[in-house]
């Protein structure tokens, strides 16, 4: 199907449909073509990053999250997503750095504190991990509260 250069939302919708149908490769191909036309479209870059993540292409996902950060460095979600991707690659320090930035940008996001705590826990930094789990619980993350009560109050 030929792609028109004036329908960026249609490309995104087509890619999402392909992904929902299990055709992640087709979704990525559609987004690749669309990104050639609209290289600074944050939604396309972020969606391609998410689909790459779902496909197990963590390095490619990190590249796309990095591009979105370069285009909009004051938005926390790409840092959170890139941090979670770095966790998949056991890059705990890199994940913690991304979560640190996301927390500065949005200090009330309970899930980011939880993710940073999880990265610290995996790294063996139990005390600071528990501090993050506690903060996450205070902000309303019920799983963090359970984890904090079970693992950090020993």
pLDDT mean across residues, the chain: 92
Domain boundary among 49, 72, 95: 72
Q: How far apart are CA 125 and CA 62, in angstroms?
A: 24
- Sign of the C-alpha dihedral, residues 124, 80, 100, 64? positive
Q: Is residue 2 part of a domain?
A: no
The answer to whether residues 64 and 104 belong to one domain is no
70-129 pLDDT per residue, tens:
998 899 999 999 999 999 999 999 999 999 999 999 999 999 999 999 999 999 999 999
Residue 104 domain boundaries: 74-154
Q: Is residue 58 part of a domain?
A: yes
Q: How far apart are CA 52 and CA 27, in angstroms?
A: 10
- Sign of the C-alpha dihedral, residues 153, 150, 90, 114? negative
**Share of residues in the chain with pLDDT > 90 (%):** 79
Q: How many domains are there within the chain?
A: 2
pTM value is 0.89
């Amino acid at each position: 199907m030929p792609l028109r250069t004036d329908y960026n939302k249609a490309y995104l919708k087509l890619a999402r449909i392909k992904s929902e149908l299990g055709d992640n490769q087709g979704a990525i191909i559609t987004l690749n073509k669309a990104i050639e036309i609209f290289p600074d479209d944050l939604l396309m870059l972020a969606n391609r990053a998410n689909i790459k993540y779902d496909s197990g292409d963590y390095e490619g996902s990190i590249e796309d999250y990095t591009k979105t950060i370069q285009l909009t460095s004051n938005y926390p979600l790409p840092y959170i997503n890139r941090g979670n991707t770095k966790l998949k690659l056991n890059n705990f320090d890199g994940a913690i750095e991304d979560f640190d930035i996301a927390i500065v940008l949005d200090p009330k996001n309970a899930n980011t504190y939880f993710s940073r705590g999880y990265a610290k826990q995996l790294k063996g930094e139990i005390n600071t991990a528990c501090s993050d789990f506690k903060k996450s619980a205070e902000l309303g993350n019920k799983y963090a509260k359970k984890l904090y009560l079970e693992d950090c109050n020993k």
